[in-house]
Structure 1
Amino acid sequence: MWEGEGSVVELGEEERWQLLRHNSLARLALSAAGEIDIFPVNYYADGETLLLRTAPGTKLLELTVNSHVAVEIDGFTDEDAWSVVVKGTARRLERQAEIDEADQTPLVPWIPTLKYIYVRITPAAITGRRFERAPEPERY
């Protein structure tokens, strides 16, 4: 699988979605008024979109100002590390039928807070890489 020192392998679409489906913690990056914010979020990946829950506050306000977002997840083992980045558009779910459908997913807040607002992220692009973890090569 690995070729040469410090190899990086691009992940295929199925592997990117598999990693998204089998994880649930990410960092959400968004921008409003020229400022970039990054928020830890838990999410649910249904295979086509990402769903998250939030409450009124800075994150929701920034999502309504600028719906273009990036979501990043990563992980590692002793042998390798990986990263998946989703860039897309976020939209607050407004219709009751959408909210009822979202209520049926396994998405629940990680902390005991009321997060009753659903946001769906529709990807425009998904990238992913796997990195070989190995000792640093000799410098000299």
Structure 2
Amino acid sequence: MTVSEDGAVELAPSECRTLIAGGDFGRLAIRSSDGVDIFPVNFVMHDDALYFRSGPGSKMVDLTSDPRVAFEVDERSDTSAWSVVVHGHAMRLNSDADIEASTVLALRAWDPSDKFNYVRLEIDTITGRRVRLPERKVDRVS
């Protein structure tokens, strides 16, 4: 375990996988013709890969052009926070058997638009950190 000067603890890949597997909402960073775009997505982790659904549009076009992506999941409480970042490559699932096996069909999207593209994100690297947050001082009004 490595602790940085600011008290952040680097997480082992196994702990990163455990944390991200418990999540269901993350941010997908994709290279686009204009630079980098970030998209909020619901996801599920299954068989050491991340899966999400997408509607048609720029996200799917950009993934086809350059499948290298970054994906971030985080959580914060009153006393601590953690963040996990995955680097990998994304590919559209094309067979019904692959889609059903991925468990992506069980996702409940926060955006009600149609999402008939199913994507698998293969993990190349996974890193994370956990930090303790300073105690919040509450101003009291009398």
Shorter-chain TM-score category? 0.7 to 0.9
Map of 1:119-130 to 2, 5 A cutoff?
119-130=119-130
Q: Which residue of 1 aligns with 2:108?
A: 108
User: Bigger CA drift: 94-103 or 17-26?
Assistant: 94-103
CA distance in 2, matches of 1:76, 1:32: 29
User: Bigger CA drift: 92-101 or 19-28?
Assistant: 92-101
Q: Which residue of 1 aligns with 2:45?
A: 45
Q: Which residue of 2 aligns with 1:17?
A: 17
1:7/1:34 Cα in 2 relative to 1: closer, same or farther (>3 Å)? same
* Runs (4+) off by over 3 Å: 102-105
TM-score, normalised via structure 1 length: 0.86
TM-score, normalised via structure 2 length: 0.85
Per-residue deviation at 1:131?
A: 1.0
Task: Output the aligned Cα RMSD.
Answer: 2.4
Q: Which residue of 2 aligns with 1:131?
A: 131
Amino acid in structure 2 at the alignment position of 1:126: I
Aligned length: 136
Percent sequence identity over aligned pairs: 39
CA distance in 1, matches of 2:135, 2:97: 52
Asked if 1 retains the 8 angstrom alpha-carbon contact of 2:46 and 2:103, the reply is no
CA distance in 1, matches of 2:104, 2:59: 23
